[in-house]
Amino acid sequence: MLRALFLVPLVGDRTARQIGVPVGSLLVFAVAYLCVRWIAAGTTAQLLDIGLLWVVLTVLFEIGLGRLVLELPWDRHHRGPRPSPWRLPGLGLSFMAVSPLLAARIPGQRRRSPPHHRCQIRPGLQ
């Protein structure tokens, strides 16, 4: 939405989409970095599962928004920037899938213990 409001009028749709992929990837990585200890996934497989879940939820949201809310045709979901030889949205989703793993590999991330949040009901409030 911000891309359409600010970037498209300045640089056009195609270039705005090309700019949006790396910027979006950086935002996803920042969220992964800030949340990886809170997520408390202990293994590589768990971190990749979280990244893949993010990808699935993103794709479902995009398709749901496009088809059900905006009533866009199916071929619109396949369009996008196609700079040769890479397709940027695919790279962005691939980066999203590995972002939790990459964030967890940053030195110092694993050494700090994850926060333990437990719901505790005080006596008398039950």
User: How large is the C-alpha radius of gyration of the chain?
Assistant: 19
CB 66 within 8 A of CB 72: yes
- What pLDDT, on a 0 to 100 scale, did the predictor assign at position 119? 41
- What pLDDT, on a 0 to 100 scale, did the predictor assign at position 95? 92
- Does 125 map to a domain? no
- Does 122 map to a domain? no
For residue 17, give its domain range: 2-104
Taking the C-alpha atoms of residue 2 and residue 97, their distance in angstroms, rounded to an integer, is: 23
Taking the C-alpha atoms of residue 98 and residue 75, their distance in angstroms, rounded to an integer, is: 28
pLDDT digits (tens, 9 = 90+) for 72-110: 666 655 555 444 334 667 888 899 999 999 999 988 765
User: Whole-model pTM?
Assistant: 0.67
- Does 124 map to a domain? no
- Does 41 map to a domain? yes
CA neighbor of 118 nearest in space, from 60, 18, 40: 40
